[in-house]
Chain A
Amino acid sequence: MESVVEEEEEVRRIVTDEEKLEAKNFNVFDLPDVPKGLPPHLELQRTRVVCEVGAPLHATGTIYSGAYISSGVDNSVNLENFSENFKVDVISLTKTDMVFDMIGIPPGIANAFRRILLAELPSMAIEKVFVVNNTSIIQDEVLAHRLGLIPLVADPRLFEYLSENDQPNERNTIVFKLHVKCPKGDPRRKVLSSELKWLPNGSELLKESAGGSTTNPKTHTSFSRSQDSFPEFADNPIMPSFEDILIAKLGPGQEIELEAHAVKGIGKIHAKWSPVATAWYRMFPEVILLKEFEGKHAEELVKVCPKKVFDIEEMGQGRKRATVARPRDCSLCRECLREGDGAIEGEAKSKGKAEAKGKREWVDQVALRRVKNHFIFTIESTGSQPPDVLFTEAVKILEDKCESVISELS
C-alpha cells in the first residue's frame, strides 16, 4: 500500500504555464521532418496546365478554398495575397497595339476583361444614313452597312448615348457627308473613306416641315453649337481611322450623295461598335527538356520547332546540347511531342529507306506546360482610343458592374 502511494506522488508534478502554452500552440505541421506545402506532383497540377499530344491535362483550376485542407495547405486567396503577387509587365506599346503580361490573376477575371474589351466598351460608329441620291450599283442598304463598319477617330467618352426619344444634338451625334460623282467619259473610280467629310455644324439636309415657308427650315439634327468649337475637337478633327478604306466603286455617270449620322453604342448590340480590332490572351508557355538532348538528337529537335524555341549550345570537345532559348514563342504546335513520320529525316531518306521509316528515338522527352496564372494579353485597337486607355476603361466597367450588383442587393 505504501509503495503505491509513493509512486503516485512521484507521477504528480507541477505543469508549468510555458508547457501549457506550448501544448495549446502545438501544430503537427511544425514538426521538423513534416514536409511543408504540397508535394511536387500536386503543385504541378495546381499551377500548370500540362499539354500532351492528345489534349491538355489539369486545365480546370482548383479554386475551391478548402481543396488541399487535408495537407494543411490553404488554397484561399484574399486581397493581401493578390495585391502582393500581382504584377504587370508591358512588353510593347504603340498607338494601336499593345502586348503586356499579367501575372497572378485568376483566369476568370482575365477572361472578363477580354469579353468587356470586345463587347462592352463603347465607341462611335455610323448608324443612320440619309441617302439623297444613289445611282451606283451598290445598293443603299449595302452601302449603309459598309459605312457603319468604318472605324472613326472619336473618343466615345466625350459623347452621350442617343436613345429613341432624344433629339440628335452635338452631344450625341457626329454627322458626315459623302458626295461623289463619276463624270461621264471618265474611267471607273473608287470611293475611299477619305471622302467622308465631317460636318461640325450638324446636318445640312432639310426636314419637310408642316408649317409654311415662314418657319425656319429644320434639319435632321439640332446642333446648338458647332462641334469644332469644343476644345477636344479643335485640333483633331473627327475622321475615319484609315483613309484608304474602299466604300464603293462608281462607273461613269454614277453618283452618291448621302449624309451619315454616327452615334455611341457597344459591341454587344452590333460588332461595328467594338473599339478593338481584336483582343486575346494566351497563357505563358513553359518548355522543359526531360532528358539531355545531345548531338544528332539536339539538331533534330532544333530543326523540328517552327517557332525556333530551341537552340544549340556548344559544350567543349565538339559536343552539342539543346537548350530552351525562347519558351515565350512556343505556339503549342506539339511538333516536338509528335512521333516522327520520317518527314524530317529527309537526309536519311536519301541515304537509305530503312532509316527513313520509323519513329524518332526521342519521343515524349519534352514537357510542354502552361503557367495558369500568367497571361500574355494582346490588344489591337481600331484607332479611336489607344490600347492602354481601352484596358483601363474595361477594368472600370467591371468595377461598375460589381457596384451595381452590390447596390441592387443592399
Chain B
Amino acid sequence: MEHGSFKDNSHATFTLGEEDHTLANAVRFVLNQDPRVTVGAYTIPHPSLESVNIRVQTTGDPAKEVFKDACQELMQMNRHVRSVFDKAVTEYKAEQERKEKKAAEELQRQRELFGSMDIESN
C-alpha cells in the first residue's frame, strides 16, 4: 500500500503487512545504497501489530520505481548468495571426501605393510 501524493510521486510511504525487521532492514540497506535515494527508512508503528512503514524519498524518480528496484536488487543479491554458498559447500564436501579417501588409502597401505612384515617373520 503506497501513501503518497498525486502531484509529487518522488516521496511516498509504503505500508507492508505481515512483515517485520527481517525484510524491512534488509531492504533499507539496499535502498540507501542507491544514489537516487535521499531518505530511505522504516518504522514499526507497534510491535504487537505485524506492519512496517517504509519511507522513500528520491531525487526526482518515482518512489515506487526506486523501491521496486531496491527489492529487485535484493532478490538478485540473494540469488547470488545462494549460488556462491552452494558452490562453496560442494567444494568443501569434495575436499573432505578427498581427504578421507587419502586417509583410508594410507591406512590400507600401512596395513599391507604390516601384513607383509608378518609373513616375513613367519
Contact = CB atoms under 8 A, between A and B. Distances in A.
B35 A76 contact: yes
Interface in B73-122: 73-82, 84-89, 91-93, 96
B64 interface: yes
Interface string A106-130: 1111011001100110000000000
B35 A89 contact: no
Nearest to A67: B32
A53 interface: no
A392 B26 CA distance: 17
Interface string A82-113: 11001111100100000010100111110110
Interface string A291-308: 000000000000000000
B71 A405 contact: yes
A395 B84 contact: no
B25 A399 contact: no
Most chain B CB within a 10 A radius of its CB, from A66, A83, A86, A395: A395
Contacts of A76: 33-35
Given A65-B34, A402-B72, A83 B29 contact: no
A392 B28 contact: no
Contacts of B2: 409
Given A66-B35, A391-B85, 11 more contacts: A88-B85, A100-B88, A102-B81, A105-B81, A106-B30, A112-B26, A392-B85, A392-B86, A398-B22, A398-B26, A408-B16
Most chain B CB within a 10 A radius of its CB, from A65, A78, A115, A116: A65
B71 A402 contact: yes
Nearest to A388: B89
Contacts of A93: 89, 92-93, 96
A294 B92 CA distance: 40
A116 B33 contact: no
A91 to B, nearest CB: 9
A65 B77 contact: no
B72 A395 contact: no
Contacts of A77: 33
16 contacts: A75-B33, A76-B35, A79-B77, A87-B84, A90-B91, A100-B85, A100-B88, A106-B29, A109-B81, A388-B85, A388-B89, A398-B26, A402-B72, A405-B27, A406-B75, A409-B2
Contacts of B3: none
B33 A395 contact: no
A401 to B, nearest CB: 5
Interface residues of A, number: 46
A116 B82 contact: no
Contacts of B26: 106, 108-109, 111-112, 398
Contacts of B77: 79, 82, 109
B82 A392 contact: yes
Interface of A: 63-66, 74-79, 82-83, 86-90, 93, 100, 102, 105-109, 111-112, 115-116, 119-120, 388, 391-392, 395-396, 398-399, 401-403, 405-406, 408-410
B88 A65 contact: no
Nearest to A101: B88
Nearest to B38: A66
Contacts of B73: 78-79
Given A90-B92, A402-B74, A409 B81 contact: no
Contacts of B87: 88
A90 B88 contact: yes
B49 to A, nearest CB: 14
A398 B23 contact: yes
B19 interface: yes
B33 A78 contact: yes
B86 A86 contact: no
Nearest to A88: B88
Contacts of A106: 26, 29-30
